[in-house]
Amino acid sequence: MPQPKRRHSKSRSRKRNSHNAIKPRQLAKCTQCGTLTPTHVICPTCGYYQGRTLVEETEE
């Protein structure tokens, strides 16, 4: 199996890996209660998603 003839420099490797950084979660306001929630996720406080309530609040 062929092997590389020369070692890659740090700058060359870092340029290639520059797109591998972890990006922060995209947050959006819930239209019902106004809390910040991740996009495309049911709101954990009120259970609202895409114009309707999907999870009813239960009191124990």
Model pLDDT for residues 14-40, shown as the tens digit of each residue: 999 999 999 898 999 988 888 999 988
Q: What is the pLDDT of residue 6?
A: 93
Could you give the CA distance from residue 59 to residue 29 in angstroms, rounded to a whole number? 25
Cβ neighbours, 10 Å, residue 42: 15
Residue whose structure tokens are 């009813």: 56
pLDDT band at residue 57 using 50, 70 and 90 as cut-offs: low
Q: What is the pLDDT of residue 11?
A: 97
Could you give the CA distance from residue 11 to residue 29 in angstroms, rounded to a whole number? 40
Could you give the CA distance from residue 60 to residue 57 in angstroms, rounded to a whole number? 10
Q: What is the pLDDT of residue 52?
A: 76
Residue 58 amino acid letter: T
Could you give the CA distance from residue 53 to residue 34 in angstroms, rounded to a whole number? 14
